[in-house]
Every structure is written in structure tokens, then in C-alpha cells.
């Protein structure tokens, strides 16, 4: 066991598991975001989003989530550096004409940087005022005081440039997932000639549902909820 993470497959196992963990986070995140579309002035969304203020979530699950991101990013960097070294300094003068290779699969690190850049903006926009500075306004439902998360989101998504940025970020994530999803199962060994095709189809469908879901909610907020 001691040397498993010292091996190439062990390092990839960490990428795979942290990636799948972040996928489950995306599912939870999108599910709650969908409540932004409930036309009740944000009450349903605010109450759902308030679960983030629970001590168990804030002090228990959030550090785990951050750990997931950090492992995924650090190991992506380590693996990319090692792979560049293994590729060697001499480049092919005639380039690479191999067909049938998914573009995303060759650009996962670049796509990851795009997603990370978006993530930083996203954290500054929402996580900081809601979880750290508590600068967001408050609202009370049935005697329970909580952040008016809806108002914060709604105000942020009233600006066209930010909506555009969020759409681009969502698309970057989509393309990252079109390769990442099936690749995670391949790395775990849960794949063969039949399941590889299945995971690829499921992964691409999943990627577009997640990506278009986030993008559509941002656009709808901008267009119809102001």
C-alpha cells in the first residue's frame, strides 16, 4: 500500500477518485442552482442554499471538498510535468496527424486551468460574501435568519459580461468532463471493450447536461428574472 501513490497508476488513481468526487459536487451544485428558476422571489433557493451554513457542512464537508480540488489540481500539475519530461525535448517536425483522438483528451490541463480561473472568479463572487465576510444581505423565513443568497446571485447575473463569463466557464467544464468522466472509470479499471463505449456516451451526455444546465440557468436569470 505504501508505494501505491508513488506509481504512475497510483497517481492517476488519485486524479480519478478526486475527479469523480468533484463530479458528485457538481451534481449537488446544479440541483440547488435549478431552484433559482422557482418563481417565488428566491425563497426556495435561499432555504436550500442555507444548508451550506450548517456547521457539519461548513466545518466538515467543505474542507473535504477543498481537499478534492487541491488534490486534483496538484496531481494534474505533477502528472503534466512528468509527461512533458517523458515526451522529451525533441519535437516532431511533421507534427501529429493521428486521427480520431478527442481534442479534449489532449488538452485536459489547459481546460483545467480555464475551469480553475473561472472557479476563482466564482469564489470571489459568491463564496467570499456568503461564507467568509458575510457581506451578503439577510432575509428571514419563519423566524429563521439566513443570507439572501438569491438576491446576491440575481444581482451578479444582471451584468451581461458576468453571464458571458459564466457561460464560457460552463463550456470549459463541459469539454473537460467529456474526456474526464469516462477516463476516470478507465483509470479505475472499470472498463472493457463494451463499457468503454458506454462510459463515453454516458460521460458526454453527463458533461453537456451539467454544462448546459449551469449556462442555461445563468442566461435565464439574466433574461427573465431581473
Partner 1 sequence: MENNISLTLKVWRQNGPKDKGRFETYKLDKVSTDSSFLEMMDILNEQLVNEGKEPVAFDHDCREGICGMCSLYINGRPHGPDDDVTTCQLHMRKFKDGETITIEPWRSAGFPVIKDLIVNRNAFDTIIAAGGYTSVSTGGVPDANAIPIPKVDADEAMDAASCIGCGACVATCKNGSAMLFVSAKVSHLALLPQGKVEAARRAKNMVAKMDELGFGNCTNTGACEVECPKGVSISNIARLNREFLKAKLAD
Enumerate binding residues for partner 1 (CB under 8 A).
1, 3-4, 7-13, 79, 82-83, 85-88, 90-102, 105-106, 108, 179, 182-183, 186-193, 196
CB of 64 to partner 1, least distance (A): 22
CB of 89 to partner 1, least distance (A): 8
User: What count of other Cβ atoms lies within 10 Å of the Cβ of residue 72?
Assistant: 22
CB of 62 to partner 1, least distance (A): 29
Q: Which is nearer to partner 1, 35 or 207 (CB)?
A: 207
User: What count of other Cβ atoms lies within 10 Å of the Cβ of residue 195?
Assistant: 14
H or E segment and range at residue 146: strand 144-147
| C-alpha dihedral, 216 to 218 to 224 to 226, nearest 10° | 180
Q: What angle do CA 43, 126, 37 make, to 5 degrees?
A: 35
CB of 106 to partner 1, least distance (A): 6
Q: Which is nearer to partner 1, 135 or 189 (CB)?
A: 189
Alpha-carbon distance of 13 to 18, in angstroms, equals 8
Q: Which is nearer to partner 1, 25 or 195 (CB)?
A: 195
Q: Which is nearer to partner 1, 108 or 153 (CB)?
A: 108
CB of 3 to partner 1, least distance (A): 8
Contact 158, 206 (CB under 8 A): no
Q: Which is nearer to partner 1, 101 or 120 (CB)?
A: 101
Amino acid at each position: 500500500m505504501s508505494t501505491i501513490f508513488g506509481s504512475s497508476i497510483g497517481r492517476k488513481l488519485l486524479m480519478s477518485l478526486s475527479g469523480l468526487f468533484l463530479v458528485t459536487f457538481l451534481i449537488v451544485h446544479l440541483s440547488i442552482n435549478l431552484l433559482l428558476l422557482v418563481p417565488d422571489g428566491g425563497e426556495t433557493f435561499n432555504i436550500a442554499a442555507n444548508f451550506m451554513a450548517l456547521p457539519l457542512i461548513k466545518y466538515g464537508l467543505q474542507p473535504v471538498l477543498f481537499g478534492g480540488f487541491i488534490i486534483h489540481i496538484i496531481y494534474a500539475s505533477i502528472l503534466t510535468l512528468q509527461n512533458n519530461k517523458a515526451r522529451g525535448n525533441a519535437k516532431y517536425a511533421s507534427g501529429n496527424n493521428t486521427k480520431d483522438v478527442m481534442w479534449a483528451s489532449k488538452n485536459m490541463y489547459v481546460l483545467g486551468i480555464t475551469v480553475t480561473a473561472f472557479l476563482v472568479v466564482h469564489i470571489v463572487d459568491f463564496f467570499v460574501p456568503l461564507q467568509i465576510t458575510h457581506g451578503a444581505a439577510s432575509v428571514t423565513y419563519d423566524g429563521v435568519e439566513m443570507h439572501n443568497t438569491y438576491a446576491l446571485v440575481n444581482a451578479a447575473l444582471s451584468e451581461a459580461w458576468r453571464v458571458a463569463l459564466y457561460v464560457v466557464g460552463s463550456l470549459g467544464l463541459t469539454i473537460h468532463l467529456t474526456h474526464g468522466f469516462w477516463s476516470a472509470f478507465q483509470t479505475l479499471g472499470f472498463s472493457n471493450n463494451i463499457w468503454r463505449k458506454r462510459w463515453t456516451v454516458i460521460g458526454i451526455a453527463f458533461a453537456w447536461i451539467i454544462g448546459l444546465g449551469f449556462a442555461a440557468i445563468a442566461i435565464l436569470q439574466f433574461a427573465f428574472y431581473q
